[in-house]
Copies of this chain bind each other. A is one copy, B any other.
């Protein structure tokens, strides 16, 4: 088990693991003790073999005929994703999306703990959001010196994103969760993970247009 822990996994696998956690947590509410890959697969409408393969990357060992011990499985996935701890994060850009993310307490269960919020709009500076005072971006330097914050969340408009990215890296941030539509340029050792909502919408609108033509 232990020796497998630090192996990496493919991107599709990493993306499915949180969905398994969600299913498992719901089963836990029903006091389920053991769960099989088949059960998880049916709930998510995917193949059971895929679930088994995915789970194996976390190092969990199941019991033939019975399945996986529920609590152990949840913890195993959480440890693999590093969600058993919380990593401190900055968020920059307090627009609609930024506000929504800061206010969404659940990210704490996903390993993310936002400790400071920044925006350069003078009307916003000084106001509080979810208990955190909105600071001007200059203040990043003060934090950078004292704290060990490795994650930066960028929810600024596209025009500001690259500059903010650069400043975050200068201040010691190692991973960026980017919600702007920009393709950020950064040194190779920096992890950039982008959420482009337009990507998802493209899949939806294209499929819908296909459907209309079909008929």
Contact = CB atoms under 8 A, between A and B. Distances in A.
Interface of A: 6, 8-9, 11, 14-19, 21-23, 43-45, 80-83, 87, 95-97, 99-101, 103-104, 107, 110-112, 150-151, 174-175, 177, 181-183, 189, 191, 193-211, 213
A97 B45 CA distance: 26
Give how many copies assemble into the complex: 2
A197 to B, nearest CB: 7
A111 B15 contact: no
B204 A177 contact: yes
Given A100-B95, A104-B96, A110 B15 contact: no
B201 A110 contact: yes
Across the A-B interface, the 3 shortest Cβ-Cβ residue pairs = A96-B100, A82-B209, A18-B198
B175 A191 contact: no
A52 to B, nearest CB: 18
Mostly helix, strand, loop or mixed at chain A's interface? helix
Contacts of A82: 205-206, 208-209
A96 B101 CA distance: 8
B177 A22 contact: no
B110 A18 contact: no
Contact of A18 (B6, B16, B196, B209): B196
A170 to B, nearest CB: 18
Contact of A206 (B14, B19, B23, B99): B14
Nearest to A104: B96
A175 B199 contact: no
A151 to B, nearest CB: 7
A110 B17 contact: no
